[in-house]
Amino acid sequence: MAEALARHYGHEAESAGTHPGSVVASNSLSVLKELGVSTEGLRPKSIDEIDTIGWDMIISMGCGVECPALPIAEDWGLEDPVGLPIDVYRSTRDTIIENLHRLSA
C-alpha cells in the first residue's frame, strides 16, 4: 500500500519487505481502489530485489521487523494487516496517507 500511495501523492517510491508474500493482499488492493489509487504493477518484493542506495529516505512500516543494514530514517510502527478485517487495512492506509502528508508539509 505504501508504494502505491506514495506514488499517488507524487513521490518516487519503491517498497519491499523482508518476507514478501507471493501476491499483494486482495484487501490492500481493495482499499487502494476505494480512493482511486492505481494498483497497476504492484507486486510483493524482497528488500534484496531493490536498490536501496540513492533514496532521500528509507522508511520502515514497522511490523516488528528490523533491518540493521538499512539506514532507516523513520519507523512508522504499523502492524501488518495481513489476514485481518478490511477495516484494519483502511486504518493502515489512512495512517500511511497521514504520514505522507506530514512528510510533504
Element (H, E) at 85: none
Q: Specify the pLDDT at position 66.
A: 66
Cβ distance 65 to 18 under 8 Å? yes
Fill in the amino acid letter for 90.
R
Q: Domains (ranges, CATH) in the chain?
A: 2-104 (3.40.50.2300)
Q: Which residues of 63-80 are buried (b: 16+ CB within 10 A; e: fewer)?
A: beeeeeeeeeeeeeebeb
pLDDT digits (tens, 9 = 90+) for 79-88: 889 999 999 9
Average of per-residue pLDDT across 16-33: 93
Whole-structure pTM value: 0.90
